């Protein structure tokens, strides 16, 4: 469940205008092709363009802004035009030294066959053809060659890596990457060695206050983790992942007792 932007018709109209303008500037692209460039479904893009989305999520706002050319100065743009949304942006993303990865590369991060190769390249000291071949065989090497050929990853002196800035992606992509990482990389046998952690609990609580306290505790944990990782002496090439997440099991929307919330 994504963080929603407050119901502001101005931002809704602005997003719709940016989409329509982009389509006029790219007449040779179909709606489906534009949606893929924005890392969105055609239906989501059309609903935003038509004004059917009254409360866009922060992820939808960022996808349209990035897709229509505001990716280099998203925070500056939001600060100047929609300060309340800029505040939400700061709450969701670490803006200290962070920039978004390219949208093309983000699309491939949603591909289960490519995500881990990309993560290896974007963390630590990067990766090499030899490492990818050893870990993923010839198929993985073929995937790497594709990413290099398309310019999604860059190789220098035999190392496929990244620049000094921290990189991030949209919320939908982060959700997929976390899911894939648990599925592909979590090793249950390491629990006894105390080398990993997997915690999950679903429980009923009395009100939204408890859920907010859970979120606050996780945010405090993130601050402590960031302080640990900001220390240059702790950085190296042992590549790990961690994730913090909590949300409601059900949407807080009314539903029909006869057929469920998705019935008309």
**Residue 226: inside a domain, yes or no?**
yes
Residue 101 or 241, more confident: 241
Write out pLDDT tens, residues 195-233: 899 999 999 998 889 999 999 999 999 999 989 988 999
- The reply to whether 63 and 20 lie within a common domain is yes
- The reply to whether 143 and 195 lie within a common domain is no
Read off the pLDDT of each residue in 230-246 and give the average, rounded to a whole number: 91
Final residue of a domain: which of 47, 64, 95? 95
CATH code assigned at 166: 1.10.10
Write out pLDDT tens, residues 72-113: 567 888 888 888 888 888 878 776 656 788 888 888 999 999
Write out pLDDT tens, residues 7-46: 555 788 889 999 999 999 999 999 999 998 898 999 999 9
- The reply to whether 140 and 171 lie within a common domain is yes
- The reply to whether 163 and 228 lie within a common domain is no
Range of the domain at 124: 97-185
- Per-residue pLDDT band at 142 (split at 50, 70, 90): very high
**Residue 254: inside a domain, yes or no?**
no
- The reply to whether 45 and 14 lie within a common domain is yes
Final residue of a domain: which of 168, 185, 202? 185
Number of domains in the chain: 3
Write out pLDDT tens, residues 155-209: 999 999 865 556 788 888 999 999 999 999 999 998 888 889 999 999 999 888 9
Read off the pLDDT of each residue in 52-58 and give the average, rounded to a whole number: 87
Q: Is the dihedral of CA 65, 67, 70, 74 positive or negative?
A: positive
pLDDT at position 72 is 59
- CA 168 – CA 222 distance, rounded (Å): 15
Its pTM stands at 0.82
Q: Are 66 and 103 in contact (CB under 8 A)?
A: yes
Angle at CA of residue 103, ends 182 and 77, nearest 5°: 115
């Amino acid at each position: 469940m994504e963080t929603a932007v407050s119901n502001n018709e101005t931002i809704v109209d602005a997003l719709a205008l940016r989409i329509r303008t982009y389509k006029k500037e790219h007449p040779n692209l179909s709606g489906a092709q534009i949606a893929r460039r924005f890392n969105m479904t055609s239906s989501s893009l059309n609903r935003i363009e038509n004004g059917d989305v009254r409360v866009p999520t922060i992820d939808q706002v960022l996808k349209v802004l990035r897709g229509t050319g505001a990716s280099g100065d998203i925070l500056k743009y939001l600060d100047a035009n929609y300060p309340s949304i800029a505040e939400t942006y700061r709450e969701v993303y670490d803006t200290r030294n962070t920039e978004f990865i390219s949208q093309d590369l983000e699309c491939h991060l949603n591909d289960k066959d490519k995500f881990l190769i990309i993560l290896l390249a974007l963390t630590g000291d990067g990766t090499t053809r030899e490492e990818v071949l050893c870990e993923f065989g010839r198929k993985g090497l073929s995937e790497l060659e594709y990413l290099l050929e398309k310019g999604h990853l860059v190789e220098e002196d035999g190392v496929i890596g990244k620049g000094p800035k921290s990189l991030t992606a949209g919320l939908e992509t982060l959700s997929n990457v976390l899911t894939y990482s648990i599925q592909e990389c979590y090793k249950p046998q390491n629990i006894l060695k105390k080398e990993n952690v997997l915690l999950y609990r679903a429980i009923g609580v009395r009100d939204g206050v408890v859920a907010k306290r859970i979120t606050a505790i996780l945010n405090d944990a993130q601050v402590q983790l960031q302080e640990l990782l900001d220390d240059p002496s702790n950085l190296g090439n042992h590549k790990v992942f961690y994730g913090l997440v909590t949300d409601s099991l059900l949407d807080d929307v009314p539903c029909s007792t006869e057929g469920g919330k998705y019935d008309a």
